[in-house]
Each structure stands twice: as structure tokens, then as C-alpha cells.
Structure 1
């Protein structure tokens, strides 16, 4: 097996930094070593197609974030000049334009290595419903890979690409992640454009991402994502969600859990719970019945008609479809428009109930899947066994939640298991930040590559959607005005100090004692707290700051420059200088001891 199998994005970037000739030779060797009979692939790049992309790469700056990085694409997502099948040979089309996300990734320098197998029309969570063959689990070929994004998960888990694209309607970007020990990021609906994607359920589809590390999955999402004015369901981010969870997060977990008799899965979940508690997380059971009720709507009611609408005239050609997929999708013909409206009203009610339930928590944590099945078992009960897998996934897009599937402690039988974090729309970054901490804590090998988790792996970069603010007095943790931060989803980052050239004063007028911070030629380092506040809430926060205080730029001891509280010098004439105490808390403590 070539050394390139198992490279992360960072490792491919290091190879690319050696120049285009080196990269070209490496990619051709890599492509030639991939088995073209592997059922995880539907279409692999030809040497000519690779050369065409390398030629385009010459026109792009090597400093681009994905320059020379190979990736795979689920075959219901368009690549210009490549066939798109959705795993239905009778419906193959050859688009002339890339899907929007593919175009963005190519513009960042990424190289398409191939298009991957899936449950036909993205209808299934098993990875077996394809005329191109079933995709095996990357750890044990007797077991399913999970679907519908089966091929994309498999080739990523085995290190054949650095990242891959899937889609997720009912869990298709999460179940395969859990079964193959990889990261599956299911973004907020509308963050990644669905233009150029053959839909399963257009109202509930999202493009999803597989990667070996959380940081790389989120990195790719920030490149691929963004508002697309040509896509009717694309959305602008609210920019009101927190940048990360609390240092000791409070997570909801289901009050009752169903593993369908799979004791290995149940014990793996218990090990994950113990690891979460060890990390400092607090776990609180919640009533899971609204989530279950909503999950059941996706296939057991009129919502299945959206799949019927998506495949168009193919519904009249059952002989050209996978029989199980046809059996599922044809159910949509029995529902009326009245049924559909009633289903939407129920979805909205349950969704609101779910979102209200989750408000006190950083996120909900569930097993990614309650069980796993052998390939040999699937023909006996293809629909029933498939439905078990969606127990903890089907409600997610109906409730407009973001989700992140993470590797977790393995089962006793040696198969991977996973957990999934779910939070409100646009909480993707907060999920990813915790995911980075979780992955570092467990330090599991990457996918099925046997490569160790890189302990030097970087976390997430500072968020462009949040403002880092230094607070020095009444807004500190536990102080009277701290609520002005916490009620706006601001998150505590760290305690640190200013540079040495600041003076601190106590403003004693008014109902609440406040500090005044002044940059000066003399002074000392003053203790401050750094908080990240959502960009969309920053203006509200500043509007509540009374004169003579304001917000300016502060220099920290390590040279960083952040926003922070400053005071008009003219108002400090009658204030009490307390610089010698080095911080507001120290001065308050000294007053109490008098």
C-alpha cells in the first residue's frame, strides 16, 4: 500500500509544498494504486482527467488552503464532465457545470479523485441498495458500511482521499461515520449550497463532510459553505450562536435508550458516557419521546412523498430501480396534499418542542447508531433493519439541527462505535470545537488507516463570526453585569493580562462599582477575561455600555490585540486609582477584608 494512503489534508499540503512536479507524480502513483474494482467507487478519475485538473492547478496559487489535496464525491453531486448516477444507471446524466460546493472546493485547489457509491437515490442507511454492489465495512467486510454515503465514508476511512463529500437527509452522513471510525459533519441546512445535487428530500437534504479529524472537516466546510443566491434553500448564517460550549458543558442525553438487543453497542455507549464525564461534561437525561415521534415522520408518513417527487418519472420505471428503494419511494403516491400539510404542522410543533427542550443545554448527545448489521442479514428484512439505524438520526433535519458524528470507544467485538452531538441551527462551530477536544482526549487511530491521532493537530482558528472582548470589572465571571455577555451566547475563553502599560481606576459613582482602564506610558499588567461574543449580538452589547466607558482596542501581554473596555481620561480625575492591585477582583477582595 502506498505511503500516501492515510494522508490527512495537512500531510497532502506538505507534499504539495514541494512543487507541482512532485505533486503530479505523487497523485498519479496514488491514483494508479487504487483498486478500480472496489465497490466503494462508481467512477474513478482517468489519468487524463487528473492531468486536466493538475493543469488548472498551475493557474492557482499554491497558498490556497486545499491546493493539491485529493477528495471524493458522492455520486449524486455533480462534477462537470463526469457522469452523475445517484446509483441508478438508467438515470445517468453528464452535467456541464460543477455543483456549487464542488466549484468552491476546486477553486481552493482540491483535486477530484473519484465519485462514490451510495444507496440508490440516497434512500437508505445501509450501503447495500446499489446496482454497483454493496460497500463493506472498512473494519470487517462481513458488516455493512452504513449509508447512504457508503462509498464516501469507506474511501475516507481507508485513507484513499483526504476528505469526502456525502449527503445527509436522515443520517446518511453520520451512520457511515459511526461505522467506520471517522468524523461526519452534518451542517446546518442551507450552509452548504445544494445546487447541483440530485435531491432525496430537497427540504431536508444537506451536503455532509467526512474527514479523519474534526478540525479538517470543519475547515473544509468553511471553504465549501456560504450563501448561494442561485439556490432557493441557501441561507445566511444568523451569527448569533456561541463560538464554543462552556468549559464544562452540560449535555442532554435520552432518558431511555434502545439498542435493539445489541449489547456490544450498549457497552460502547456506556464507555463513551464515562469518557464524557471524565472530560468534565455534565449529562442530564431528557424526555426523548418528541425526538422519536418526529423521527418516525420521515418514512412513516407523507414526508416520504418528497422522495417520490425527487425522482420524477423514474417512479414509472420500477424495473430500472433497486426493488427496496422503489418499495420505499412508491409509498409517497398514497398521500394527498392535505396529508402533507398536516404532516408539516406536526413537524413544526415537534420541532419547536425539541428546540425548547434543548435550550438549557450545550447539545444533545446520542449514540450515532443503536446497532450494526451483517451484510448477510440485510436481504431478510431490508426495510426493518434499515429503520433501526435511523433511531437517533431521522429527526435531525426535520428539527433544523446541526450535527457532528464523532469516533468513540470501540465495541467489545472490535467494530467502531460513535456518538453524535446535536444542537440548534448554526451551532456548527461550537460542535466542532468540542469535537476537537473529544478527539484529542480519546486519541483513537484515524479511520481504518491505523495511523495514530496527531497530538500536534491544531484546533479551530479564531472565528470570524465572533468578537473577542476583554472584560476587566463588572462583566467578569460572577460579577453583576456578566449576564450581559451570557444572555447573548458569549463564551468565556480564558483569563489573561493586558500589556504592562495600563492603569486601572475604580469609578465609584452609580449603583454598580465599575473599573476604568487607561492606556498609559506607565502602569502594569491588569488581569482581564476574554469572551467571544457573536458578531450579531456585539452591537447590542456595546449599546448597553454607559459613559464614560466604551469599547476600544486593548493590547494583551502576549501581543494580541482584542476589543476591550476603555475609559475617557477626563472622567478619571476623581476616580480611585487601583493599578497596584493588578485586577478588579483583587481590589474588591481587599475592600472586603478591611
Structure 2
């Protein structure tokens, strides 16, 4: 696999320091596109000559870096968003057309210096949350194992998670900017409807559609949002961001709504249940107040989207095409769209009246709280599991997302580590319309990044160490300037046998992340029979992304930790998924001989151990 493209913040820093040029990044992007990934994420790409010409143009304008917030940052867009020169398919080849104009939201990004790479796969006509409803192929999660990528913005999420671009645009009507983020361990921002122009976007459900943003970090999402939002006279649904809502509120001033336990449904997935419990506790620590909140009115509103007349709104823009070319539409997509024909005018108005009542309930909710935290998805599925019940399990995926646009809410999805089974977990911060900047600021605090350009991490906050040794206590009080970020991959992970060595030295868990796809993980023999994990760098051709934990360790504790590391392990520089280099445990290449067990396919030591216990 190719070397990942860094975050927008990382690239900007490298450009500013003269360590990287836009031409070099363009060549790296093109090399990545040329590598077969087995994941059908692209529907079309910008011609190589055109991308290089854009890179050269920007390189010649490098003195404008200070005024171009997205200078040289590669991005992708979902293929229901227009780009002049490339076809717009909306996931249906027979529907494809060549637009004369580029969508307004894309033009804003290009004007800010971004480099457009191509257009990504999606659930056909943006109808679905699985990423499996496309004639161009089915996207799989970046974590592999047959996991769905989530939809409908499947390709956009995967190209970001795989490090092929720094950010991507999707759309979000029922959760399509949040579910794919959850399935791929990245940030998904669903802005308030109307803030990002939908002119030049194929409608799914006009009154509810919005453009979404995928990034590795909340800071990148904030940057893209600042550039992309603005009233577009060509968009009849456009709304300005009120001046008094443009500044984010500090997390400590916020009142947080915590879902009542009886309203939460994880569909039997205890791993997701446990991860959400830990995640909401992390959010609660950051805010000023918390209050229990019932979710049932929200769920009732969400049910109106596919079990009410709003499905008829989806049909409104596609009915003529569907009647004239029914075989051009996938059976599952056609079934969903055609269900809109059963609603009459009276049913539409009854549903709108009920929705107004639910909106009034929600308005009263925001008088008591400022932010609500919910799971993004209650559980995850493999592609095979979706095939068993494509509509029913799609509905399960939308349980915590479908109500947002109907109730005029904003939302930001952030990673929340992994379950013991190795499945990605996430949570979503939800707020009233125009709370976008406040949500993204809270998301940034939750991500616990060491700097604005730091690695994308998330995970449970480690408990403060309880030790009596005064030297250890002093180390645990070290400031961030006196700490180093350390990546651990095996028996120093939380809950593993050597984790106390970190705790006793004052280390604090910063989060969970991934390596760049440059490594293989081996299980070396050990005296206790458990095995010793060894992470070996092998390069782009044979490497994979491996789950790691990031710990903040006092600098003066490194020597003592290193003294207890047995050969062939050592400490060295390890590259993260977003391009950052951090100190980490690595194994010498000589130890990876034919007799050593290669456990790379598990994706990490924790997942390997779980599979071994259940197998």
C-alpha cells in the first residue's frame, strides 16, 4: 500500500517549512490511485496531467500559502456532487451526465487551494447506509475483515481512512456522513442544513439533504467547514451561519445530555455498549453539567424518514427515471424508492404535523442541554450480514442518525476506539441548528490530540495511577512539554500483562489509533505461552495498518522502560496512519522468520487475542 497522505494541518506545516511541495504530493496521490486496493472506492478520477498541472500551478503560488487555508491539500468528492469535466453518476451508470459547472461547495474548496483528486463510490442515489448498494462494486471498511464501509458516502470515507486524500466530501440525509465515519474510524461532520451549498448536488431528499465532511481530525474538519460554508444564491435551501453562533463555546460551559440506559439499543453488541459507556464518560469529564435525556421522541422522528412519507420525497426527483429505466436501478434501491408511491397527500400532512410536534419537543430539550451524545451506530455488520437482511439491518444502522436532519440538528462523529472483537466504535455529538463550531470544538477536546496537527486518536481516558512511590507520583504530574507520545502494540496495551509498567511510570492513555500501512505483526514465542507481539516495518508492498495505543509518557521514564524491553524488540520511530512519526515498540526484522506466526490479518494484538479465545 502507498504511504498515507497527511492531514491538512500536517501538509500545511510541511509546505511552510519547505519540506514538501505540491508536486510531490500530487505524484504520491497518483501512485496511490494506481495501486490496486481491492476496494472499489473510485468511480472516476481527475486525469493525471490535470492533477499535476494543478500542483504546478499551486507550487508557483507558494507565496500565497498564508492566504490559502487548503493550499495543496488533496481531496475527493462523492459522485453525486458535480465536477465539470467528469461525469456525475450518483451510483447509476445509466443516469450519468456531464455537468457544465462545478458544484459551489467544491469551487469554494478549490479557491482555497485544495487539489481535487476524483469522485468516489456511493450507495446508489445516496439511498442506503451500508456501502453495498452500488453497481460499481462494494466498498469494504479500511479495517478489513469483510466489514461494511457504511454508506451512502462509502468511498469518501474509505479514501480518507486509507490515507489516499486528506479530506473528502459526502452527503448526509439519513446518516451518510456519520455511519461511514464510524465504520472507518475517522471524523464525520454533518453541518446544519443549508450552511454548505447543495447546488450541483444530485438530490436524495431535497428538504433534508446536506453536504458532509470526512477528515482524520476535528481541526481539519473545522478548517474545511470554515472554507466551505456560505450562502449560495443558486441554492434555495441556503441559510447563513448567524454571527452570534460563529464562535465556539468552550466545552466547560456546556450542558451535556446523556441518553437514558433504557433508550439505548445495541442490538446485542455488548462491545459497542461498553465502548459507548466509556466514551460518554470521557465527554462528561469535559463539560460543565450533565443531565439524563430520553431518546424516544428522536427515534419517532427518525422513523418518519423511511417509514413515513419522506420516502416519497426521495421518489419525487427520480420517479420519471425509475419508470422509464427500472432495470437500471438496483433491486434494493428500487424497492426503497418505489415504496414512496403508497403515500397520499393526507398522510404527508399528518406526518408533517407530527414532526412539528416532535420539533417542538426537541426545541424544549435545547433549553435544558447544549449537546447530546449518542452512539453513531448500535452495532456493525459484515457485507455478508447485510446481504442476509439488507433493509432491516440498514434501518438498524440509522437508529441514531436518521432523526438529525428531520429535526434540524447538527452533528459530529468521532472515533471511540475498538471493541474487544476488534470492531471500530464511535460516538456522535449532536446539537441544535447552528451549533456546528461548538460541536467541532468539543470533538477536538475529546480527540485529545497533542497538537492541532497531531495524530487522530481516540479511546478511553486512563485512570490516574494510584501509586505511593514519590518519584512515580512526580512523573505522573509532568506537563505535556515533559512528555513524549509512545505507541504500544502488544503486551503494554490496556489490560495486558505489561501495561502496569506504563501506569507505574506516570503514563496516561492518549487514545487508540492505527499505524501507517507499512507494517506486519508477528507473534514471537514467550515463556508463558501467550506470545510476544513484534511489529516489523516491511514497506508499502506488503504492509498493513495495525491497531496501536498512544500513551503520554514522562521523558525521564523512557530509559527505565527501555531497560525492560527484551530483544528482538526495541524502541524506534513508528509512522502513524496520518503521517506523523512517534516513538514506538518495534521488532527487528531478523526475528520474522518462517517459523514465527504472522498475525497481521487480525489487525492488532487485541483482536488476535480475542479471536484466539473465541476460536
Change (3 A) 1:21 1:387: closer
From the superposition, tell whether residues 227 and 446 of structure 1 become closer, same or farther in structure 2 (CA, over 3 Å).
Answer: farther
Distance verdict in 2 for CA 1:382–1:92, change over 3 Å? same
Instruction: Calculate the TM-score normalised by the size of structure 1.
Output: 0.73
Residue range with higher mean Cα deviation, 217-226 or 267-276: 267-276
TM-score using structure 2 length: 0.70
| Other-structure match for 2:229 | 225
Give the distance between the partners of 1:56 and 1:98, measured in 2 at CA.
19
What SS is found at the alignment partner of 1:139? coil
Is the CA contact 1:440–1:453 (under 8 Å) kept in the aligned structure 2?
A: no
Counterpart CA distance in 1 for 2:186 and 2:403 is 22
Other-structure match for 1:184: 188
Of residues 188, 199, 202 in structure 2, which corresponds to 1:198? 202
The structure with more radius of gyration: 1
CA distance in 2, matches of 1:313, 1:55: 44
Give the equivalent residue in structure 2 for 1:426.
434
CA 1:446–1:221: 2 relative to 1, 3 Å: farther
Q: Deviations over 1:511-531 (max 9, x none)?
A: xxxxxxxxxxxxxxxxxxxxx
Provide the rounded CA distance (Å) in 2 between the counterparts of 1:248 and 1:191: 25
* RMSD, aligned α-carbons: 2.3
- Report the CA distance shift for 1:110/1:454 in structure 2 as closer, same or farther (over 3 A): farther
Aligned-partner Cα distance in 2 for 1:453–1:234: 42
- Which structure has more helix as a fraction of its residues? 2
Q: 1:446 to 1:274 in 2, by over 3 A?
A: same
Counterpart position of 1:41: 42
Partner of 1:471: none
SS state of the match for residue 193, structure 1? Answer: coil
CA contact (8 A) 2:169 2:212 kept: yes
Deviations 1:351-390 (A, max 9, x none): 1211212321121110010111111111221000000011
CA contact (8 A) 1:182 1:446 kept: no
Q: Are 1:324 and 2:324 an aligned pair?
A: no
Q: Deviations over 1:126-177 (max 9, x none)?
A: 1000001111011123111111111111110111101110100000000111
What is the aligned partner in structure 1 of residue 257 from structure 2? 252
Partner of 1:581: none
Shift of 1:15: 4.0
Q: Is the 8 A contact 2:29 2:165 kept in 1?
A: no
CA distance in 2, matches of 1:42, 1:446: 28
Match of 2:89 among 85, 88, 91: 85
User: Which of 112, 119, 123 is 2:123 aligned to?
Assistant: 119
Mapping of residues 15-414 of structure 1, within 5 Å: 15-17=14-16, 22-34=21-33, 35=35, 38-54=39-55, 56-57=57-58, 60=61, 61-63=64-66, 64-241=68-245, 243-247=248-252, 249-255=254-260, 256-279=263-286, 282-316=289-323, 317-414=325-422
The equivalent position to 1:444 in structure 2, one of 507, 511, 526, is 511
Would you say 1:9 and 2:8 are equivalent positions? Answer: yes
Higher mean Cα deviation, 411-420 or 386-395?
A: 411-420
Contact 1:75/1:85 (8 A) holds in 2: yes
Tell me by how many angstroms 1:184 deviates. Answer: 0.5
Query: Could you tell me how far apart the structure 1 residues matched to 2:347 and 2:214 are?
Result: 36
Q: CA deviation at 1:201?
A: 0.6
**Aligned-pair CA distance for 1:275:** 2.2
How many residues are paired up?
455
Given that residues 212 and 446 in structure 1 are in contact (C-alpha distance below 8 angstroms), is that contact kept between their aligned partners in structure 2? no
1: CA distance, partners of 2:169 / 2:309: 28
Instruction: Find the aligned partners of 1:227 and 1:349 in 2 and give their Cα distance.
Output: 29
SS in 2 for 1:409: strand
Distance 1:344 1:59, change over 3 A: farther
Mark the runs of 5 or more structure 1 residues left unpaired by the alignment.
457-594
User: Partner of 2:175: helix, strand, or coil?
Assistant: coil
- SS for the counterpart of 1:364 is strand
Cα drift, residue 56 of structure 1: 4.6
Cα shift readout 1:28-74 (whole Å, capped 9, x = no counterpart): 23312333563111112221221342355367533311111100110
CA shift at 1:336, angstroms?
A: 1.8
